[in-house]
C-alpha cells in the first residue's frame, strides 16, 4: 500500500509548495522521467504460490506512482521493453491531442526498443492513471497500469478538512491458473461477446492484502482506481460511512454513497474521505458485492490498539474546483449513440469496413459490438461526429445490449445529466460513465479540446471487438 505523508508531512509539503511557487520556474530543460514497460515477475498471490509472469512499468505491478502538481509539467519518456508495440495513454487528463497515446490517431505505436517523449501540464488536480492503448486487452491483462496523481495547488483543503494521510489503491483483476500464471488465451470470443475478461484474483496495489491498518480517530483520503479490464467493484466499508469527494478525478459536492456502496467501473476512480470512528483494536470487513453471487471479503479494516484522539469530524468541504468548462445545456446539440451487439443482444446486422454484415459473419472476424450500427475494424476508429470547437453537446447513450459498458471519452470530462430520464443534480463529472443494460444515460460537455478523440467502451475486449469510435473536435 502506498503510505503517504502524515499530517505533519502534508503541512511541511504544503509549506514547501508555497515556497517553491514563489521562486522563478526553471526553464524545462530537466530530463524526462523514463518509464519502461517490460516483462517481469510479481508475487501476486502470496508466498505459497509461484511468482506470476507479468508485464509492468519499470517491471512493477502496478507501475510507479507519478505525481505532479496541477498545472506543472510532467515529462515522461516511454522506453518500450515489451516484445510488442505500445503507447502511454494518460487516462482522464485533458491534454493536447498529440500526447494522448492513441496509435493510428495521435501517434504511431512505439516499436519494441524504441521510445517516445510525452510532456504536458495536467490542468486538473485529481486521481488519474496511465495505461497502454495498444493491444489493450492483452497489455491490460498482463498488468500494465500505474497511478498518476495530480495534486491540488496547495495543501489548504487537506489542512482545513483535517486529512491525516492519504493512500492510493489500484484495484487489479487477474485470471490466473492454479500455478498463478495468466490463463491463456488472453482473449476469447466468449469473453469479448460477454462481460470481457473477468478474472479470479483481485489485487490491491499488486498483492492480496489481509488487513488495512488504521488508527481510531484519523481521517484518511483514499484514492481508488479500477485498473481491471472488465471487473466492476462495489465496495462496502462495514461500520464506516465514507464521503465521496471526487469522481474520475474531478471534485464533486461531498456526499455519502447510497447504502455506503462505492461503485467503480473499469477505469473509474473515486476519492473517499473516511473517518475512522470505531474503537482501537476493532476489525471490520471491506467487501465487494459487485457480482452479488460472488461477493467476497477484500480485506479487514484493522484498528491499531493505540487510542487515537477521535474528535468529531464535520462534513468535508468540496475540493478546490478544477477549470472545467460548463456546458450550456440550453444551446447544446444532442448526439445519440446506440450501444449494440454482444451475446443476447439481438443485433441482427451492422456495418464493418463499409459492408453490412450479419452477427455471425461479424463474429467470425472477432467483431461483435457496434456504435450507431458501425463496428470498428482492427485499427479503425469510425467517426461518430464532428464537433465545433467551443460548442456544448449532450450525448445520449442508449445501451441496447445485455451488458453494462463503461463508456470513456478522451480529452474531456462530461457532466452526468440524467439516467433513464431522471435528472441527476449532484453535479458529477466523469470521463468514464457506466451505461447499464437497457438504460439511457445523458451527459453534457463542451468540445473545447481540438483534435480526434476516442470514445469507446473501456472493457478492452469490447473495444477491440468493435465498440470504439471517435469525435473530431475542431
Ligand atoms: Cu483509459 Cu481509451 O482509455
Ligand atoms: Cu463494453
Q: Are residues 445 and 379 in the same domain?
A: yes
DSSP helix, strand, coil percent of the chain (3-state; round to 5): 10, 40, 45
User: Do both 381 and 453 map to the same domain?
Assistant: yes
| Shared-domain flag, residues 338 and 265 | no
We report the CATH number of the domain holding residue 178 as: 2.60.40.420
Ligand nearest to the CA of 342: 2
Nearest protein CA to atom 1 of ligand 1, as residue: 91
> Do the strands 349-352 and 374-375 form a parallel or antiparallel pair, or are they unpaired?
parallel
Same domain, 430 and 298: no
In a domain, residue 179? The reply is: yes
Answer yes or no: is 10 within a domain. Answer: no
Same domain, 385 and 423: yes
Q: Which ligand is nearest to the CA of 227?
A: 1
Distance in Å, CA 352 to ligand 2 centroid: 18
Contact yes or no for 187/197 (Cβ under 8 A): yes
Which residue shows C-alpha cell 492480496? 208
Give the integer Cα–Cα distance in Å for 140 and 432. Answer: 17
Identify whether 62 is preceded by a cis peptide bond (ω within 30 of 0).
yes
Nearest to 287 by CA among 301, 276, 269, 308: 301
pLDDT in tens, the chain (474 residues): 333 333 333 333 333 334 344 444 444 446 899 999 999 999 999 889 999 999 999 999 999 999 999 999 999 999 999 999 999 999 999 999 999 999 999 999 999 999 999 999 999 999 999 999 999 999 999 999 999 999 999 999 999 999 999 999 999 999 999 999 999 999 999 999 999 999 999 999 999 989 999 999 999 999 999 999 999 999 999 999 999 999 999 999 999 987 889 999 999 999 999 999 999 999 999 999 999 999 999 999 999 998 776 667 899 999 999 999 999 999 999 999 999 999 999 899 999 999 999 999 999 999 999 999 999 999 999 999 999 999 999 999 999 999 999 999 999 999 999 999 999 999 899 999 999 999 999 999 999 999 999 999 999 999 999 999 999 999
Q: Are strands 33-35 and 74-79 parallel, antiparallel or unpaired?
A: parallel
C-alpha of residue 247 to centroid of ligand 1, in Å:
16
Residue nearest to atom 3 of ligand 1 (CA): 91
**Counting atoms of ligand 1 from 1, which one is nearest the CA of 102?**
2
404 alpha carbon to ligand 2 midpoint, in Å? 6
Number of domains in the chain: 3
Q: Which structural domain, as residue segments, surrounds residue 405? A: 333-473
Q: Quick one: which atom of ligand 1 is closest to the CA of 456?
A: 2
In a domain, 43, yes or no: yes
Is the residue at 8 inside a domain?
no
Q: Note the residue count of the chain.
A: 474
Ligand 1 neighbours (beta carbon < 6 A) = 89, 91, 131, 133, 267, 408, 410, 454, 456, 458
Q: Are residues 69 and 192 in the same domain?
A: no
Q: Are 338 and 389 in a shared domain?
A: yes
Give the closest ligand to the alpha carbon of residue 194.
2
The rounded Å distance from CA 398 to ligand 2 centre is 12
Give yes or no: residues 149 and 164 share one domain. Answer: no
Look at residue 347 and tell me if it is in a domain. yes
> Whole-prediction pTM value?
0.93
Q: Using the atom order of ligand 1, give the atom closest to the CA of residue 133.
A: 2
Separation of alpha carbons 269 and 263, rounded Å: 9
| DSSP H helices in 147-222 | 156-160, 189-193
Amino acid at each position: 500500500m502506498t503510505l503517504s505523508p502524515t499530517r505533519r508531512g502534508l503541512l511541511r509539503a504544503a509549506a514547501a509548495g508555497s515556497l517553491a511557487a514563489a521562486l522563478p520556474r526553471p526553464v524545462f530543460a530537466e530530463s524526462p522521467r523514463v518509464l519502461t514497460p517490460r516483462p517481469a515477475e510479481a508475487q501476486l498471490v502470496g508466498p505459497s504460490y509461484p511468482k506470476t509472469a507479468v508485464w509492468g512499468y519499470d517491471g512493477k505491478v502496478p507501475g510507479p506512482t507519478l505525481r505532479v502538481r496541477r498545472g506543472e509539467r510532467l515529462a515522461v519518456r516511454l522506453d518500450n521493453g515489451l516484445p510488442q508495440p505500445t503507447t502511454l495513454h494518460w487516462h482522464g487528463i485533458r491534454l493536447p491531442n498529440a500526447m494522448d497515446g492513441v496509435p493510428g490517431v495521435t501517434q504511431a505505436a512505439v516499436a519494441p526498443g524504441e521510445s517516445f517523449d510525452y510532456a504536458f501540464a495536467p490542468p486538473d488536480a485529481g486521481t488519474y492513471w496511465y495505461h497502454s492503448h495498444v493491444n489493450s486487452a492483452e497489455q491490460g491483462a498482463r498488468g500494465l497500469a500505474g497511478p498518476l496523481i495530480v495534486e491540488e495547488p496547495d495543501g489548504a483543503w487537506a489542512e482545513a478538512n483535517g486529512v491525516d494521510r492519504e493512500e492510493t489503491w489500484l484495484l487489479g483483476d487477474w485470471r490466473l491458473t492454479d500455478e498463478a500464471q495468466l490463463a491463456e488465451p488472453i482473449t476469447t470470443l466468449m469473453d469479448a461477446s460477454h462481460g470481457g475478461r473477468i478474472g479470479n484474483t483481485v489485487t490491491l496495489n499488486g498483492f492480496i492484502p489481509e488487513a488495512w491498518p488504521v488508527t481510531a480517530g484519523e481521517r484518511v483520503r483514499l484514492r481508488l482506481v479500477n485498473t481491471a479490464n472488465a471487473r466492476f467493484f462495489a465496495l462496502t466499508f462495514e461500520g464506516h460511512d465514507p464521503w465521496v469527494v471526487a469522481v474520475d478525478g474531478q471534485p464533486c459536492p461531498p456526499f455519502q454513497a447510497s447504502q455506503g456502496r462505492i461503485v467503480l467501473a473499469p477505469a473509474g476512480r473515486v476519492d473517499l474521505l473516511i473517518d475512522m470512528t470505531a474503537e482501537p483494536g476493532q476489525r471490520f470487513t471491506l467487501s465487494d458485492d459487485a457480482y452479488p453471487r460472488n461477493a467476497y471479503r477484500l480485506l479487514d479494516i484493522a484498528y491499531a490498539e493505540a487510542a487515537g484522539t477521535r474528535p468529531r469530524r464535520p462534513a468535508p468541504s468540496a475540493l478546490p474546483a478544477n477549470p472545467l468548462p460548463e456546458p450550456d445545456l440550453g444551446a447544446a446539440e444532442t448526439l445519440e449513440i446506440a450501444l449494440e451487439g454482444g451475446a443476447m443482444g439481438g443485433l441482427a446486422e451492422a456495418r464493418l469496413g463499409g459492408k453490412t454484415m450479419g452477427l455471425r459473419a461479424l463474429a467470425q472476424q472477432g467483431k461483435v459490438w457496434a456504435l450507431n450500427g458501425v463496428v470498428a475494424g482492427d485499427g479503425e476508429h469510425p467517426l461518430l461526429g464532428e464537433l465545433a470547437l467551443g460548442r456544448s453537446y449532450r450525448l445520449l447513450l442508449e445501451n441496447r445490449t445485455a451488458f453494462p459498458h463503461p463508456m470513456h471519452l478522451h480529452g474531456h470530462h462530461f457532466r452526468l445529466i440524467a439516467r433513464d430520464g431522471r435528472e441527476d443534480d449532484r453535479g458529477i463529472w466523469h470521463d468514464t460513465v457506466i451505461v447499464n443494460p437497457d438504460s439511457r444515460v445523458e451527459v453534457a460537455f463542451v468540445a473545447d479540446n481540438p483534435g480526434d478523440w476516442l470514445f469507446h467502451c473501456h472493457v478492452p475486449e469490447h473495444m477491440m471487438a468493435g465498440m470504439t469510435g471517435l469525435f473530431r473536435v475542431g
